[in-house]
Amino acid sequence: MKKFFCLSIFICGLLLSSCSSSSIAGSILSAKEGSETADGRMIDTEASKITGNSDSTATSRPIPEPTLTMTAAPTLTQTPTPTPSLTPSPTSTPTAPDLISFSYSDLHQGVQPVAYIEDPCDYLISRWDEDKSAPGTIVVPIMFHSVAKPGREITDSTTISVAYLDYFMERAKTLGFSTITTEELIGFLESNEKIPERSMILILDDRRPGVIEEYFMPYLEENDWTLTLAWPTTDATSNSLWERMESLAETGYLDVQSHGHDHIYIQDYTPLEEIEEEVYQPIEVIQSHFGTTPRALIWPGGNFNQISVQLAQEAGFKLGFTVFSRGPVMYNWIPLGPQETAMGAPLLVLPRFWSTAADAALEKALQIVEEARVAAEILKAEELAYIASYCQPQDGD
């Protein structure tokens, strides 16, 4: 009997255990399925139990339950709006547009405009200073040699006739051009000092006092213009020539600059002592005879190399002129070919137009001016914004 009783109890226990397991399994399945909201999201039944929204009742003993991860619901807490920063963001920071980006479409192949002012603030402040030269101000350097008397046959590529010189001078005046001196050109190129918007620098190469007196001086006196002399200071100069040139310089219409000492065409094989004499000797001679210090070196024959350019810088020359007709010049805009660009000193290898095409040089300059002014107006707002943001004195400056 005892054995039968125990067996009955054992069978009942098994039945009770089976019923409890089915109940637990149903609870777990219900918890996993959950319910769906109107917007298609699933809500955990277990999550509802935790927030007190479940109708389920607790059992009398702990029942292991599956671990359910709750997804945090978005709250309506307002996120504080960040305070705008005064530091310009990279996407809106105005940059300093460089005139190197302005390229006249009709420059010769291989010629590129070169900018030479490194500090964008220095450049932009001078560019938009109302007391300085306006954007589009241009300078046309023109190189003259001999002028043939009426009736003389012209057999070289550097001589012009008196008739053409007369035509050019009248044409320049009609177009509104006037001359500037070397010193004025230095001020313009270095810091945009004010000069006439249509300027030209007329450079007469070599020792030609008769050409000055007979052909140029009447125009210089009539228009109050200046003629720049590229003057070789050779020891072979006679005293009478010095006296003649000193007298002409006293008129105030001549701007005497260096054209070397013995007019040597500098090559890579030219001895260093000869290059040094070409660069340094004219300074002392010009000071002695004209009471002025030359600031420009018009390279004899247009020839230069890295050594001569470096020596010219060391000697204090601010400008140098070649014989390359690359184009006119503007503030921070010098058209150069590869040979000049390689020197790394744009102001010491400036271009010059030949006198045989002097009128065409003026016309080309005016075309460049119009494009340059349009480009300047397009960039004006951005450049002024750059000045306002980055070119103001800092505290303690």
* DSSP assignment of 320-337: EE-S-----BBTTBEEE-
How high is the pLDDT of residue 144? 98
* DSSP assignment of 141-176: EEEE--EEPTTPPP-SSS-EEHHHHHHHHHHHHHTT
Q: Which of 72-81, 193-202, 255-264 has the lowest mean pLDDT?
A: 72-81
pTM: 0.75
- 142: β partners: 202, 353
Residue 103 — pLDDT band, cuts 50, 70, 90? confident
How high is the pLDDT of residue 154? 95
CA atoms of 312 and 297, how far apart (whole Å): 8
Residue 102 — pLDDT band, cuts 50, 70, 90? confident
Domain count, the chain: 1
With H, G, I as helix, E, B as strand and everything else as coil, classify residue 357: helix
Q: Is residue 20 part of a domain?
A: no
- Given a cut of 60, whether residue 77 has pLDDT beyond it is no
Average pLDDT over every residue of 89-104: 53
Q: Is residue 248 part of a domain?
A: yes
> What mean pLDDT, rounded, does the chain reach?
82
Note the pLDDT tens digit of each residue in 226-248. 999 999 999 999 999 999 999 99
CB 322 within 8 A of CB 110: no
The phi, psi pair for 258, rounded to 5°, reads -80, 140
CB 287 within 8 A of CB 253: no
Q: Is residue 40 part of a domain?
A: no
Average pLDDT over every residue of 279-288: 98
How high is the pLDDT of residue 395? 59
Q: Give the single-character DSSP code of 377.
A: H
Show the domain range for 345.
Answer: 100-390
Percent of the chain residues past pLDDT 90, beyond the cut: 70
Could you give the residue ranges of the DSSP H alpha helices within the chain? 2-33, 45-50, 120-128, 162-174, 182-191, 209-211, 217-223, 239-249, 272-290, 306-315, 338-341, 358-390
Average pLDDT over every residue of 118-135: 95
The phi, psi pair for 235, rounded to 5°, reads -65, -15
CATH number at residue 171: 3.20.20.370
- Closest to 139 in 3D by CA, of 349, 345, 333: 333
How high is the pLDDT of residue 29? 31
Q: Is residue 74 part of a domain?
A: no
| Paired sense of beta strands 35-36 and 42-43, if any | antiparallel
Average pLDDT over every residue of 343-351: 98
CB crowding 32-61: b at 16 or more within 10 Å, else e: eebeeeeeeeeebbbbbbeeeeeeeeeeee
CB 354 within 8 A of CB 143: yes
The phi, psi pair for 120, rounded to 5°, reads -65, -30
Q: Is residue 157 part of a domain?
A: yes
How high is the pLDDT of residue 64? 41
How high is the pLDDT of residue 101? 67
Q: Is residue 81 part of a domain?
A: no
Note the pLDDT tens digit of each residue in 271-283. 999 999 999 999 9
| Between 54 and 271, residue with greater pLDDT | 271
- Given a cut of 80, whether residue 192 has pLDDT beyond it is yes
How high is the pLDDT of residue 16? 40
Note the pLDDT tens digit of each residue in 28-40. 333 333 434 433 3
With H, G, I as helix, E, B as strand and everything else as coil, classify residue 259: coil
Average pLDDT over every residue of 374-388: 92
CA atoms of 52 and 58, how far apart (whole Å): 12
- Given a cut of 50, whether residue 107 has pLDDT beyond it is yes
